[in-house]
Chain A
Amino acid sequence: GESVGLHLPTLSVQEGDNSIINCAYSNSASDYFIWYKQESGKGPQFIIDIRSNMDKRQGQRVTVLLNKTVKHLSLQIAATQPGDSAVYFCAEIPLTGRRALTFGSGTRLQVQP
């Protein structure tokens, strides 16, 4: 399939290690955030979301942290597996106006076996 994110920053980790992917968002009025995973040739896949009234949310092997003071979002993946290799995007929705997503620039995660 086509390559996604040819010129994106890349995070390379060893299989079994924990991964941390960071995202700086721009709109202090955003109240909802999502992390997506996009594999080559596929559409973005929902991973986890968080609302602005929370600072941490956990899923299966994933944790999202929100720091509204510095407008920073992170995705932590525990025990990273080769199947986690993909491009990861954060997205935000502002509190007011249309409820559509604004995407960050993305990070490529490469998991070394």
Chain B
Amino acid sequence: SAVISQKPSRDICQRGTSLTIQCQVDSQVTMMFWYRQQPGQSLTLIATANQGSEATYESGFVIDKFPISRPNLTFSTLTVSNMSPEDSSIYLCSVGGFTDTQYFGPGTRLTVL
């Protein structure tokens, strides 16, 4: 499976600010996804990061709040904009290919004060 890293691993941010999370993969992958895991909860898909085009967002998530970039087949970023304490979560990227199996990064633990 691919080796996936995320930066930062954790951060504490002030409300109203923005944080950009990076996801780097050690090999080219077809699919990249971003998930949110709120405290004590399961994972919820935010969006599919599409290489060279706009991300595909799930219901309840919008581009203005969670802009995503995917400039190539090994890298993606997720920005959490204008943060509030409700955005405190673990943000995870995952990668997949034609087999549908997805592998996850270690996550970014965000606390908004």
Please give the residue numbers on chain A whose beta carbons come within 8 Å of chain B beta carbons, in ascending order.
2-8, 32, 34, 36, 41-46, 49, 89, 91, 93, 98-106
Contact = CB atoms under 8 A, between A and B. Distances in A.
Contacts, number: 60
A93 B100 contact: yes
Contacts of B31: 99
Contacts of A89: 42-43
A102 B101 CA distance: 13
Nearest to A33: B100
Q: Chain B contact residues: over half helix, strand or loop, or mixed?
A: strand
B80 interface: no
B44 A103 contact: yes
Shortest 7 CB-CB contacts between residues of A and residues of B: A6-B40, A43-B104, A103-B43, A103-B42, A43-B107, A44-B104, A43-B106
A66 B25 CA distance: 32
B42 A105 contact: yes
B45 interface: yes
B105 A43 contact: yes
B92 A99 contact: no
Given A34-B102, A101-B45, A44 B92 contact: yes
B33 interface: yes
Contacts of B48: 98, 100
Q: Which of A32, A89, A103 has the most CB of B within 10 A?
A: A103
Contacts of B96: 99
Contact of A42 (B39, B44, B56, B107): B107
